[in-house]
Chain A
Amino acid sequence: MRRRFQSITNKLPAIISMGILLALWHFLCITKVVPDFMLPSPKAVAIAFYEDLDLILEHAGVTLTEAFYGLLIGILFAFVIATVMERWNVMYQAFYPIMIVTQTIPTIAIAPLLVLWMGFGMEPKVTLVAITTFFPVAVGLLDGYKSVDCDYIHLMRSMGASRYRIFVNVKLPGALPHFFSGLKVSTSYAVVGAVISEWLGGFEGLGVYMTRVKKAYAFDRMFAVILFIVVISLLLMLLVNLMKTICMPWIRMEKRREK
């Protein structure tokens, strides 16, 4: 009971600050400091959201599908490449610079290229999401593998463990916390990546919906969909956290001990 109460009081400052922000927004609108067409009031946004809900959900389905497959592919590649790089140092030396260089290419710059190469369907979007989500997960895993205390590896070797067993029993679990930190970043990139690639060409998805309402100067709808994307991203990050607690039950015990 006390714990539950504590978890509410912990969130209180965040709730209050968000409330203040909302009130400020409302105040700016009713006093007409900022004209209506530039900044729609919270109420107008809520109404727009409610009216367009069906449409938004439909588009959101497409965007989330792209984000999901892209993220999945990104994670898969990150896992394979990071693991290979960890296993053979030559691979690390060969691939690490390339990985860093690819990161400096802005997403916005490759998106149109992907559309040119792959058309207006899902493929370029999934590809873009995969590219953007790859890096945080790969770096997380690499850091994680490196963070493992070498005395654990000595321990395993002194028990006669094979390389594979050392990987499964020590390196992989040791890398999990870093992996999940990377995954959290990647998850937020995934939705944003999908939306951006939809802006640049496509027939459906939240990005397409955004370009349409923008052309109609429907700022209230624009705001509604932005807030919607924010909420979805937050929910997905929450989901990652949940997955983390399920995959790493021992972390909970460690936290409890620290208290």
Chain B
Amino acid sequence: MIVLKAENITKAYDGVKVIHNINMHLKKGEIVSLLGVSGVGKTTLFHILSGLFEPDEGRVMLNGEDITGKSGKISYMQQKDLLLPHKKIIDNVSMPCVIKGMKKKEARKKVELLFRQFGLEGCEYKYPSQLSGGMRQRAAFLRTYVSSNGVALLDEPFSALDTLTKSSMHKWYLNMMDQIEMGTLFITHDIHEAIHLSDRIYVLGGKPGIIKGEICIEQEKPRKEEFEFSKEYAEYKRQIVDALTAQA
């Protein structure tokens, strides 16, 4: 079942076309990544999907409803963690509930139980500046989860982390996605990350950016360590590189 669908999205900044005629979709509970080099228009596309920006052409459909240009419908984790520095972690995380009209106390109670599950115990009443980068990322992810109703957009959720933290976050992320039902579309420019984490990959490339390829990763989850060294993995990687370097 398709939950989120982008139809013929085109967007230009000051007359310069950034993305052209993008078609993509996300099924229920699916993890899909959007891969592309820096500046190709990935964040722009996410801003449009989340309703922050209006596309010049095309529309965005959520569960069959046209939500083009309407923000507040899909939860969106941006490229920076954007935790409000003046709010304690628990209040940052419960912010979506407060915005939907819940009392602060109620909202805190609602999210409190999730801290353990997200590996954030003990951080509830700290300020964001007291947390490490990985923990902040988790908190931002938890906030995204709290505000989501089954769909989330994640803009480079792991790219600010060092390699070791990154691979432990990957494990944590796959484990989380196993427990929670959340269709996720995430941006990355790391090919390994894309193959390792997703069910499907869109490759975005060119100027203006178009979808250059769609690759399904048919591998059982959770993925084994050996997968990385298998023939299939190498094949997926080749397909992606081909798509990235293909001439329009």
Contact = CB atoms under 8 A, between A and B. Distances in A.
A161 B129 contact: no
B52 A160 contact: no
A205 to B, nearest CB: 39
B105 interface: no
B127 A158 contact: no
A253 B130 contact: yes
Say whether chain A's binding surface is mostly helix, strand, loop, or mixed. Answer: helix
B96 A159 contact: yes
Given A159-B95, A165-B99, A254 B85 contact: yes
A158 B130 contact: no
Contacts, number: 64
Interface string B131-157: 000000000000000010000000000
A250 B52 CA distance: 29
Interface string A148-176: 01011011111111000100011001001
B55 interface: no
B135 to A, nearest CB: 13
Size class of the A contact interface (CB-based, 8 Å): 20 to 34
Contacts of A165: 99
Interface string B175-217: 0000000000000000000000000000000000000000000
A8 interface: no
Interface residues of B, number: 28
B72 A158 contact: yes
The 7 closest A-B pairs by CB, nearest first: A160-B72, A158-B76, A173-B86, A254-B129, A250-B127, A157-B71, A253-B127
Contacts of B52: 154, 157-158
Contacts of B147: 159
A161 B74 contact: no
B78 interface: yes
Which among A158, A170, A249, A257 has the greatest number of chain B C-beta atoms within 10 A?
A158
Nearest to A172: B86
Contacts of B76: 155, 158
A250 B86 contact: yes
Given A250-B129, A253-B130, 17 more contacts: A149-B82, A151-B78, A151-B79, A154-B47, A155-B78, A155-B82, A157-B52, A158-B51, A159-B96, A159-B147, A160-B73, A161-B99, A169-B87, A169-B95, A173-B84, A173-B86, A250-B127
B75 interface: yes
9 contacts: A149-B82, A152-B84, A156-B99, A159-B95, A160-B99, A169-B87, A169-B95, A250-B86, A257-B130
A34 B30 CA distance: 87
A159 B127 CA distance: 21
A249 B76 CA distance: 28
Nearest to B91: A169
A170 B80 contact: no
A160 B100 contact: yes
A23 interface: no
Nearest to B146: A159
A152 B82 contact: yes
Contacts of A160: 71-73, 96, 99-100
B86 A248 contact: yes
Interface string A242-259: 000000111001100100
B50 interface: yes
A160 B100 CA distance: 8
Contacts of B86: 173, 176, 248, 250
A253 B127 CA distance: 8
Given A152-B84, A169-B84, A159 B78 contact: no
A170 B80 CA distance: 16
A169 B83 CA distance: 12
Contacts of B79: 151
Nearest to A254: B129
Contacts of B100: 160
Contacts of A149: 82
A157 B96 CA distance: 11
